[in-house]
Amino acid sequence: MEKIEVTTNYKGWWYIVLFPTLQFLVVLVIIPFFVAIIQGDNVNDLLMVLSIFITIPISLFLTVKTYPFFLKLAERKISRIIIENNTLSWQFRKHIKSIILSEMHNAIISFGVSPVYNMQALGLSIMNKKDSINICTFNFHNTKLRELFPAEFFISSTVITPEEGLPAFQLNYAEPTHKAFIDKLLISLWDNRNKNPYFVFTNKFPWERTPSPAFTSIREFYKNKLSSDDKKFIDSITSQVIAEVNSYLKITPDYLIGLKLPTKFQMLFSKDLDPEIYYIMPLKYIKADVLLPKTDLSTYLFVQSIDTAINKSHTGSHLIHDNYTIKITGKRDNGTKVELVFEWVSPTDENYWESKYILKYINENYEMYS
C-alpha cells in the first residue's frame, strides 16, 4: 500500500491550553495581591472580595484578547503524520508514535461546524491503550465523508478545533497531499471498523429502521400489581435490550426501559432487589435531555455512615460526587405531559461516549416523527 506522509502544523497543548490558562490564573492572583500590598496591615475584607470579583472579567478579557497570539505561536510548530498500510504514525517531539488500525483501537469521527469559531471541519480522534492523536481537517465536504465512511449514524456533529482548545494536527483538504492522506486514513478506518469498539457499539442500533412501539404513551408497571400478561410483556421487551446505560436505563429497538430500584436503605434489609416500578417509554414519542449535575450528598452521607459503623476507629475518606441525571419527556394515556428523571452517566465513566449515542438514538427518532 502507498505510504503518504504529510508535514503540517501541530497546535499543541502548551500554546492553546496551558499558557492561556496560566495567564488567566496569574492575572487572577496578581491584582488582588497588589491590592493587599497597597493596604498594608489594614486589609479591608470587603475590598479584597470586590477586587477578586472585578479581576475575574478582566482576566477573562485579557485571555480572550491574547489567545490569537498564542495560536500564532502554535502555528510555528511543524510535525509529520504518516499513513502506510493500516498504520497511522506521527512525530511527537523526537519520537515516532503509531497506532495500528488493523488492531483494536478507538476512533471518533465528527463533522460539522465548530461551536465558537463557526468553522466547518472534519475531526478525527484515534487512540489505543498507549497513544492518541487528533486530526482536524478544514475545507472538507460531507459528501466525501459519506463516500469514504458510509455510516452517517456514527458521525458526531460536534467538532472541536484547535482554535477552541483541542491539541491537534491541522490539515487543509484543498491541498493534494492532505487530501490523499485523509482519504487513505478514512478508507483504513472504514476497512477496520470492526476493530473499533465505538463503531461496534453504535452498529447495534437499527438506525435505518423506524421504531414501532405497541403504544404511544409512557406506561408504568408496579411490581406488586403485575398481571401474568404484564410479566410476559416486560419479559419480551427486556429480552430485546441492545444496550444498557446503567442499572436504571436500558434500551431496545422500540422502547426505553426505566427502572425504579429499591433504595439503598431497603437493600440493606431485603433480599428482594427486583425493580419496584418498570417505566416502558416508547421511542418516537419521548425526548431526552441531560440535566446539569448536582452534588450527590445523600450517597456520600450514606457511604460515610456505613463506613463509620463498620470501622469505628475512623470515619473514612469518601469523595462527594456530582450526580448526573437525564429527563425523559412524554405523555400519559390521557394525553397529559409527564417528565421522568433517571440517573445518567458522568463524563468520567467508561461508557460516557456510548451514552451519547443512546441519547442520539432516542432524540433523532423523536425529532424525525414528532
The 10s digit of each residue's pLDDT in 321-363 is: 567 889 999 999 888 999 999 988 888 888 888 898 999 999 9
Q: What is the mean pLDDT of residues 108-126?
A: 86
Distance CA(56)–CA(241), nearest Å, equals 49
Strand order across the beta sheet in which 249-251 lies: 219-222, 277-282, 255-260, 249-251, 243-244
Q: How is residue 294 written as a grid cell? A: 448536582
Pairing state between β 255-260 and 95-100: unpaired
In this predicted model, which residue has the larger pLDDT, 321 or 128?
128
pTM of the full structure: 0.76
**How would DSSP label each residue in 122-190?**
EEEEEE-SS-EEEEEEES--HHHHHHHS--GGG-BS----GGGT--EEEEETTSHHHHHHHHHHHHHHH
Q: In this predicted structure, what is the pLDDT of residue 212?
A: 93
Residues 99 and 188 sit within 8 Å (Cβ to Cβ): no
Q: What is the mean pLDDT of residues 45-61?
A: 79
Beta bridge partners of 79: 8
Q: In this predicted structure, what is the pLDDT of residue 13?
A: 66
Place of cell 416500578: 277
In this predicted model, which residue has the larger pLDDT, 69 or 83?
83
In Å, what is the CA distance from 52 to each residue of 25, 30, 55, 57, 330? 12, 10, 5, 10, 45
Q: Where are the domains of the chain?
A: 1-196, 219-369
Q: State the pLDDT confidence band at 41, using cuts at 50, 70 and 90.
A: low
Q: State the pLDDT confidence band at 166, using cuts at 50, 70 and 90.
A: confident
Q: How is residue 309 written as a grid cell? A: 459503623
Residue 78 has pLDDT above 90, yes or no: no
Q: State the pLDDT confidence band at 62, using cuts at 50, 70 and 90.
A: confident
Residue 317 has pLDDT above 70, yes or no: no
